[in-house]
Amino acid sequence: MIIDKAEVIVTSPDRNFVTLKLTTNEGHTGLGDATLNGRELAVVAYLQDHVVPLLIGRDAHRVEDTWQFLYRSAYWRRGPVTMAAIAAVDMALWDIKAKAAGMPLYQLLGGASRTGLLAYGHASGKELPELFDSVRAHLDQGYRAIRIQTGVPGLKAIYGIASQAADTADGSIRYDHEPARRGAFPTEEDWDTRSYMRHLPGVFEAVRNEFGPELPLLHDGHHRMTPIQAARLGKDLEPYDLFWLEDCTPAENQEALRLVRQHTTTPLAIGEIFNTVWDFKDLIRDQLIDYVRGAVTHMGGITALKKTIDYAAQYQIKSGFHGPTDISPVGMAAQMHLGLSIHNFGIQEYMQHGSKTDQVFEQSFTWRDGLLHPGANPGLGVELNIDEAGKYPYEQAYLPYNRLADGTVHDW
Ligand code: GCO
Ligand code: MG
């Protein structure tokens, strides 16, 4: 089974997506997600100029060998652009292999370890009433775990807050947390860690009072605190029994988590911007985190994320794969197959794509009673409708950035 065609498809239904499509001489096709929010075209160039020419003529069955070849022969290792490109090839090859075997991919990864994947949705509101409505709307949609993000008094624009009303005119689901804005320059948001830390515990207290002790609640700190601030927030949130506190520090400095860990029993999740097992190694080995937030799309594909999560299993650390809308339906499907098969599955982030995206990417997954399942179609279970994709050309979009009150740029 030889790869004889490799195409890079850029499409922007609701938002930008980069997809690699491989075709073999036997007519099997495979899809891989290479979307890197705000830096999409860098991955397109990496794939088109440096990877596609190397793929033509290769044995499509050699998934591991192709991964090692692309990783090691580049010499320049790691980094989001390189690893998103390798991820796309890896996913597409697994898709092809599973289609050739006539099985949904999870069967090749060891078979199902559970009936479905617990998924969390994203409730948000500037003020409590709006936040409560959003929690209720998510409960109505069947979510059994919910992330809570809230406005902070004195701050105008803040990460994770829905910017529009819940339903769009055409009935499609909107991307209410999609932070990347179309346009030629990133938008500016404001930030004040002390105000945020003063405000957040009261919000969780109110949510617990309203919705009771059972509902698993999550929160994303989005890399903004120093280690000692994060330690303090983790302690302050302990009474509200969070499922996890995510990205409490930037964590390029892995020692930061050691300090946080010494002070709080609030479970910690990190890694949506990590690219390889090396970013996780110390955090896993020293048991400084509880959940691995890597995404197949940014961690070099199924091959690499499986190795990372299997390593984490030895330390009772579970998966919490990154699943915002900037992970395409192809990337989401790949991590659903992985999540279904591993033993140490924790939770899957699930934001829901818009209706245009769902027309471009025809998907087999199901979402029932708060559980995701990748479906029974052979391969990943996603096909790309090229005519639909062609309707939506790339549009420049950037993630925002933060400034403090005195004008200093801060982690976003
Ligand atoms: C999450 C993430 C996202 C990121 C986004 C950036 O937990 O889902 O933090 O909201 O901000 O993926 O592209
Ligand atoms: Mg996050």
**Structure confidence by residue, pLDDT tens digits, 204-241:** 999 999 999 999 999 999 999 999 999 999 999 999 99
Average pLDDT, the chain: 95
Using CA positions, which residue lies closest to atom 1 of ligand 1? 324
- What is the per-residue pLDDT across 162-209, written as a single tens digit (0 to 9) for each? 764 444 455 444 556 678 888 899 999 999 999 999 999 999 999 999
Whose Cα sits closest to atom 8 in ligand 1?
A: 324
Pocket test for ligand 1, best of 163, 322, 401 (most atoms within 8 A of CB): 322
Give the closest ligand to the alpha carbon of residue 121.
1
Query: What is the residue with the minimal CA distance to atom 6 of ligand 1?
Result: 37
Same topology, domains 3-104 and 117-377? Answer is no
Counting atoms of ligand 1 from 1, which one is nearest the CA of 179? 11
Going from the Cα of 322 to the center of ligand 2, the distance in angstroms, rounded, reads 7
Between CA 394 and CA 14 the distance in angstroms is: 10
Confidence at residue 70, expressed as pLDDT on a 0 to 100 scale: 98
For the CA of 177, the nearest ligand: 1
At 14-34, the pLDDT tens digits run 999 999 999 999 999 999 999
pLDDT of residue 166: 42
Write the residue with the smallest CA distance to atom 3 of ligand 1: 324
Residue 163's pLDDT is what?
61
Cα–Cα distance for residue pair 18/34, rounded to 1 Å: 5
Which ligand 1 atom sits closest to the C-alpha of 38?
13
Domain parsing of the chain, residue ranges? 3-104, 117-377
Nearest CA owner, ligand 1 atom 9 = 222
Choose the catalytic residue: 219, 222, 337, 353: 222
pLDDT at 165: 41
CATH of 3-104, one of 3.90.1150.10, 2.60.40.1180, 1.10.287.1080, 3.30.390.10: 3.30.390.10
Nearest-atom number in ligand 1 for the CA of 220 is 7
pLDDT at 175: 58
pLDDT of residue 172: 46
| pLDDT over 90 (residue 276) | yes
Distance 216 CA to ligand 1 centre (A): 19
- What is the reported pTM? 0.96
Distance of CA 242 from the midpoint of ligand 1 (Å): 19
Catalytic residue list contains 222: yes
pLDDT of residue 51: 98
Closest ligand, as measured to the CA of 36: 1
pLDDT tens, 127-172? 999 999 999 999 999 999 999 999 999 998 788 887 644 444 554 4
pLDDT digits (tens, 9 = 90+) for 76-91: 999 999 999 999 999 9
Range from 164-173, 288-297, 400-409 carrying the lowest mean pLDDT: 164-173
Mean pLDDT of 376-399: 97
* Ligand 2 centre distance from Cα of residue 44 (Å): 24
Ligand 1 binding pocket (C-beta < 6 A) is 37, 177, 179, 220, 222, 272, 322, 324, 326, 349, 399
Of the chain, the percentage scoring pLDDT greater than 70 comes to 96
Say what percent of the chain tops pLDDT 90: 92
Q: Which atom of ligand 1 is nearest to the CA of 351?
A: 8
Residue 222 CA, closest ligand 1 atom number: 9
Taking the centre of ligand 1 as the mean of its atom positions, its distance from the CA of residue 106, in whole angstroms, is 26
Would the pLDDT of 120 be above 60? Answer: yes
| Cα–ligand 1 centroid distance for 109 (angstroms) | 27
The predicted pLDDT at position 157 comes to 78
pLDDT above 70 for 298? yes
Which of 46, 159, 175, 350 is an active site residue?
159
pLDDT in tens, 37-58: 999 999 999 999 999 999 999 9
Q: Say whether pLDDT at 263 is over 80.
A: yes
Nearest-ligand number for the alpha carbon of 347: 1
Of all protein residues, whose CA lies closest to atom 10 belonging to ligand 1?
Answer: 324
Query: Does domain 117-377 fall into CATH 2.40.37.10?
Result: no
Residue 178's pLDDT is 76
- Ligand 1, from 161, 293, 326, 353: best to mutate by most atoms within 8 Å of Cβ? 326
Residue 324 Cα to ligand 1 midpoint, Å, equals 6
Measured in Å, residue 390 CA sits from the centre of ligand 2 at 30
Q: Which atom of ligand 1 is nearest to the CA of 147?
A: 7
Residue 158's pLDDT is what?
A: 81
The pLDDT of residue 251: 81
Q: Is the pLDDT of residue 259 over 90?
A: yes
CB of 50 within 8 A of CB of 63?
Answer: no
